[in-house]
Structure 1
Amino acid sequence: MANQAESPRILAIHAHPDDIEIQCAGTLARLKSLGCHITIATMTAGDCGSAEMGPVEIANVRRAEAKKAADMLGADYMCLEFRDLSIMIDQDSRQRVTEAVRKARPDIVITAPPVDYMSDHEMTSRLVRDACFGASAPNYTTHQFQPAPPTEKIPHLYYVDPIEGCDYFGNPIEPQFIIDISKTFDLKIKMLACHESQRAWLRKQHGLDEYLDGTERWSAARGKIIGAAYGEAFVQHCGHPYPSSNLLQQLLEK
Structure 2
Amino acid sequence: MNVLFVGAHPDDIETWAGGTAASYSQQGAKLFFCVATNGNVGSSTLGRDEIAKIRYKEAQNGAAVINAELIWLDFDDEFLIDSYETRLKFIEAFRIAKPDVVFCHWTQDYNPDHSISGMIVDECIHMAMVPNIKTQSKPCDKLPHVYFMDTPAGVNFEPQIYVDITSVFEKKVEMVGQHKSQNSWMKTMFGYDMESFLKVPAQFRGLQAGCRMAEAFRPSYRRGRTFIKHYLPQCLEISPNFHNAHK
TM-score by length of 2: 0.92
Cα distance in 1 between the residues matched to 2:214 and 2:231: 14
Alignment-derived partner of residue 231 in structure 1:
214
Shift of 1:200: 1.7
CA deviation string 1:199-220 (max 9, x = no partner) = 22122222x2321112101101
1:152 aligns with 141
C-alpha distance after superposition, 1:94-138 (max 9, x if no partner): 111000000111110101111111100001001112331100111
Q: Which is further off, 239-248 or 117-126? A: 239-248
Give the letter aligned to residue 252 of structure 1.
Answer: Q
C-alpha contact 2:161 2:235 (8 A) present in aligned 1? no
- Provide the rounded CA distance (Å) in 1 between the counterparts of 2:231 and 2:160: 12
- Indicate the residue corresponding to 2:160 in structure 1: 176
Per the TM alignment, residue 240 of structure 1 is displaced from its structure 2 partner at its CA by 1.2
Would you say the 8 A contact 1:62–1:195 is kept in 2?
yes
**Which of the numbers 71, 78, 84 marks the counterpart of 2:71?**
78
**Corresponding position: 1:28 with 2:12:** no
Partner residue in 2 for 1:197: 181
- The alignment partner of 1:88 has SS state of coil
1:252 equivalent to 2:245? Answer no
- Unaligned stretches of 5+ in structure 2? 237-247
Q: Please say if 1:89 is aligned against 2:89.
A: no
Find the residue that maps to 1:219 and give its secondary structure.
helix
Would the aligned equivalents of 1:17 and 1:66 in 2 still touch at CA under 8 Å?
yes
Deviant stretches of 4+, over 4 Å: none
Corresponding position of 2:3: 10
Cα drift, residue 163 of structure 1: 1.3
- Give the Å deviation of 1:247: 2.5
Separation in 2, partners of 1:210, 1:253: 28
Counterpart-to-counterpart distance in 2, 1:96 and 1:65: 22
Alignment size in residue pairs = 236
Instruction: Write out aligned runs for 1:90-105 (5 A).
Output: 90-105=83-98
- Classify the secondary structure of the residue corresponding to 1:190: helix
CA distance in structure 1 between the partners assigned to 2:140 and 2:126 by the alignment: 10
2:162/2:235 contact within 8 Å kept: no
Quote how far apart the aligned CAs of 1:253 are: 4.4
Q: Percent identity?
A: 30
Q: How far did 1:226 drift?
A: 1.9
1:22-62 Cα shifts (integer Å, max 9, x gaps) = 10010111111111000111101210100111111001101
| 1:113 and 2:106 are equivalent in the alignment | yes
**Coordinate RMSD, CA, aligned:** 1.4
Q: Call closer, same or farther: CA 1:122–1:246 in 2, change over 3 Å.
A: farther
Alpha-carbon separation, structure 1, partners of 2:110 and 2:31: 26
Give the residue type in structure 1 aligned to 2:112.
Answer: S
Contact 2:2 / 2:31 at 8 angstroms: preserved in 1? yes
- Structure 1 residues without counterparts, runs of 5 or longer: 1-7, 168-172
Counterparts in 2 of 1:218 and 1:253: CA distance versus 1, 3 Å: closer
For residues 180-231 of structure 1, the C-alpha deviation after alignment (integer angstroms, 9 at most, x for no partner) is 000000000011111110122122222x232111210110110111221110
**1: distance between equivalents of 2:229 and 2:40?**
35
Residues 46 and 62 of structure 1 are in contact (CA less than 8 Å); yes or no, is this contact kept in structure 2? Answer: yes
> 1:154 is matched by which residue type in structure 2?
L
> Distance in 2 between the 1:253 and 1:109 partners?
15
The one-letter code of the counterpart of 1:219 is A
| C-alpha separation in 2, matches of 1:197 and 1:98 | 30
